[in-house]
């Protein structure tokens, strides 16, 4: 995919040699799709070829790591409308014509900066194209299924941590002269949360195996895993906050952060509405 061998070598050097010595400074990559959101094939960022360069114009919204990453994997339009007109081009930070918007103020995920990435007559060598012209959409879609497993796994972590915090809170917090852990209703809620977490974990692992083994139903299973796990795990985090009472709403308690951070997982890597579309499309085509 990286075309000329020297480009792969150059990317390795720019990334600080991830397999190099432990004290080597690591560099980061960011993938840029477009403002088109769920309708990725309709992206508008253009790349017009002029000699041995592409001239990029357009912008990408909500880019995680925007302005901080050193390398940007950009999906842009080199041909006509639709997915076959999209190509994938590598742009280095510091390239003239590449700039960034303000850091977005988000509800959660505040450890990762998010900005718009802007291209204004940004000249990039043709040698920085990954694959052939028109392969960009295929490359992006191949990455999305793994990304959906990744986001679902993030939700699993938040839900697991929320359950542990809730269990510990129920043991020490007293109401009406007894620990909350003695309350049968709260015991049942904790049992529900743990069961939903295990079910989510199993579907994510099943989808990951399908993706790794390139099974025929991998796309549908990844969509199911992302949709199911992100919604169930957010519900777990939200219930955990509720069971903390007023303490759950304080920033001194981590449970509120897990709830805020996990909410966006229902939107990232394709909204859960799109996941339902992919699942139903797979069923109706059988």
pLDDT, one tens digit per residue, over 229-283 is: 999 999 999 999 999 999 999 999 999 999 999 999 999 999 999 999 999 999 9
Integer Cα distance of 34 and 28 in angstroms:
19
Give pLDDT, residue 33: 58
Q: Which of 24-33, 67-76, 99-108 has the lowest mean pLDDT?
A: 24-33
User: In this structure, what DSSP letter does residue 132 have?
Assistant: S
- Decide if 269 is catalytic: yes
Phi, psi of 228 (to 5 degrees): -70, -50
- 264: tokens are 């966006």
State the CB neighbour count (10 A cutoff) for residue 49.
Answer: 13
DSSP 214: T
Compute the average pLDDT of residues 17-42. Answer: 53
- For residue range 138-189, what is the model confidence (pLDDT) as tens digits? 888 888 899 999 999 999 999 999 999 999 999 999 999 999 999 999 999 9
CATH of 138-284, one of 1.10.150.650, 1.20.1070.10, 1.20.140.10, 1.10.10.10: 1.20.140.10
251 contacts 95 by C-beta, under 8 angstroms: no
Q: Coil, strand or helix: which one is 281?
A: helix
pLDDT at residue 29 above 90? no
Indicate whether 102 pLDDT > 50: yes
- Greater confidence (10 vs 61) lies with 61
> Tokens at residue 48, please?
């017009």
Cα–Cα distance, 256 to 273 (Å, whole number): 25
Q: What is the dihedral of CA 207, 212, 215, 220, to 10 degrees?
A: 30
Is-contact 120 195, C-beta < 8 A? no
Residue-level pLDDT at 141: 83
Query: Is residue 14's pLDDT more than 60?
Result: no
Task: For the chain, give every domain's residue range.
Answer: 5-131, 138-284
pLDDT digits (tens, 9 = 90+) for 41-51: 578 899 999 99
Q: In 3D, which of 207, 178, 192 has the Cα closest to residue 238?
A: 192
- Which range, 14-28, 77-91, 193-207, is most confident? 193-207
Among candidate residues 133, 231, 232, 269, the one labeled active-site is: 269
Contacts for 90 with CB less than 8 Å, ≥ 6 apart: 7, 11, 71, 72, 73, 74, 124, 128, 129, 130
Answer whether residue 75 shows pLDDT above 80: yes
Question: HEC states along 46-77?
Answer: EEEEECCEEEEEEEEEEEECCCCCCEEEEEEE
Does domain 5-131 match CATH 2.40.110.10?
Answer: yes
Least Cα distance to 26 among 70, 92, 90 occurs for 70
User: Residue 3's pLDDT is what?
Assistant: 43
Q: What is the pLDDT of residue 4?
A: 42
CA distance readout (Å), 223 to 33, 88, 280 = 19, 24, 10
pLDDT tens profile 32-68: 655 455 566 578 899 999 999 999 999 998 999 999 9
pLDDT at 23 over 60: no
User: Which tokens is 76 given?
Assistant: 């842009």
């Amino acid at each position: 995919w990286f075309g000329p061998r020297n480009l792969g070598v150059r990317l390795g050097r720019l990334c600080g040699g991830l397999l190099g010595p432990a004290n080597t400074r690591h560099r980061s990559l960011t993938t840029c799709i477009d403002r088109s959101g769920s309708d990725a094939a309709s992206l508008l960022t253009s790349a017009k070829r002029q000699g041995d360069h592409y001239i990029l114009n357009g912008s990408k919204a909500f880019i995680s790591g925007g302005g901080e990453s050193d390398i940007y994997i950009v999906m842009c339009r080199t041909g006509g409308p639709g997915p076959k007109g999209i190509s994938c081009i590598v742009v280095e930070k510091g390239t003239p014509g590449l700039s960034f918007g303000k850091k977005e103020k988000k509800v959660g995920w505040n450890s990762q900066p998010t900005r718009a990435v802007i291209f204004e007559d940004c000249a990039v060598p043709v040698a920085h194209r990954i694959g052939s012209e028109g392969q960009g959409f295929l490359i992006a879609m191949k990455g999305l299924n793994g990304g959906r497993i990744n986001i679902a796994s993030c939700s699993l972590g938040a839900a697991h941590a929320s359950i542990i915090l809730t269990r510990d809170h129920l043991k020490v917090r007293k109401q009406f002269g007894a620990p909350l852990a003695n309350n049968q209703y709260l015991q049942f809620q904790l049992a529900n949360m743990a069961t939903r977490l295990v079910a989510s974990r199993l579907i994510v692992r099943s989808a990951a195996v399908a993706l790794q083994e390139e099974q025929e139903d991998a796309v549908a299973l990844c969509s199911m895993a992302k949709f199911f796990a992100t919604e169930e795990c957010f519900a777990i985090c939200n219930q955990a906050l509720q069971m903390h009472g007023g303490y759950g709403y304080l920033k001194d308690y981590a449970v509120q952060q897990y709830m805020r951070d996990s909410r966006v997982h229902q939107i990232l890597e394709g909204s859960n509405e799109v996941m339902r579309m992919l699942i139903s499309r797979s069923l109706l085509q059988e």
